[in-house]
Amino acid sequence: MSICVTDLVKRHPGAAAPALAGLCMKVPTGKIASVLGRSGAGKTTLLRCLSGLDPFDGGTIDVGGVTFGAGAKHGSFGGRIGLVFQTFELFPHLSVLDNCTLAPRVVRGEARSRAEARVKELLAELGIEDKAKAYPEALSGGQKQRVAIVRALAMEPSVLLYDEPTSALDPALKHEVGRTLRRVADTGVTQIVVTHDLPVAREASDLVFVLDKGRVAAFGPPAEVIAEAA
């Protein structure tokens, strides 16, 4: 599904200036968008508003034609939007399979066999089907990240958001992230990636948005925008 953000405003209590000050962005279905910007530009605030973790004060967010306005308790837009956390947040005492099937079983009441079948397919799509029975401590950073992505995909979101997906990874693994995002995009999921990592943004995304003071200061294909920003 496409995502369209119009005039998004978010004021944190006690802050002098709004963290988001009329931000607009549009990401077509199945595309990968990177969100860049200096510290304090509003990137994390945008992710939190999009994912439904925080309410916002003005503007609208449209996901696949369903529009939510300020103050709406949209949750994660009825599960349409998933979030992959920076530090993966896997449960150490659960196997990969149980980490990934927990939410479908508990939140959606799905039968274990159905959830496991879908998760095994997703693990295979991301090339880690042999890790289904492993525990997080036995995984590399890149494998943990792919498990975190499968866990989010297990809830069948249409849009997936990432907070700094390369920050916990060894530099040698960073190029793997681009490949993983591309595999997810091939399934039709729209992805928005907050990152400080210019090479990852350049290699992995279709579109780049540069935030400044809570607005989009520049956007376009990575080769154009990142060359200008450099």
Ligand X SMILES: Nc1ncnc2c1ncn2[C@@H]1O[C@H](COP(=O)(O)OP(=O)(O)OP(=O)(O)O)[C@@H](O)[C@H]1O
Contacts with ligand X, residue ranges (CB under 6 A)? 12, 14-15, 19, 37, 39-45
Three-state SS annotation for the chain: CCEEEEEEEECCCCCCCCCEEEEEEEECCCCEEEEEECCCCCHHHHHHHHHCCCCCCEEEEEECCEEEECCCCCCCCCCCEEEECCCCCCCCCCCHHHHHHHHHHHCCCCCHHHHHHHHHHHHHHCCCHHHCCCCHHHCCHHHHHHHHHHHHHCCCCCEEEEECCCCCCCHHHHHHHHHHHHHHHCCCCEEEEECCCHHHHHHHCCEEEEEECCEEEEEECHHHHHHHHC
CB of 12 or CB of 114, closer to ligand X: 12
CB of 163 or CB of 176, closer to ligand X: 163
> Which residue, 215, 218, 220, 217, is CA-closest to 23?
215
What amino acid occupies position 83?
A: L
CB of 61 or CB of 153, closer to ligand X: 61
Give the nearest distance from C-beta 104 to ligand X in angstroms.
Answer: 30
CB of 177 or CB of 211, closer to ligand X: 211
Give the nearest distance from C-beta 181 to ligand X in angstroms.
Answer: 20
Give the nearest distance from C-beta 41 to ligand X in angstroms.
Answer: 4
Give the nearest distance from C-beta 55 to ligand X in angstroms.
Answer: 12
What amino acid occupies position 111?
A: A
Give the nearest distance from C-beta 29 to ligand X in angstroms.
Answer: 26
CB of 15 or CB of 230, closer to ligand X: 15
Give the nearest distance from C-beta 39 to ligand X in angstroms.
Answer: 3
CB of 37 or CB of 222, closer to ligand X: 37
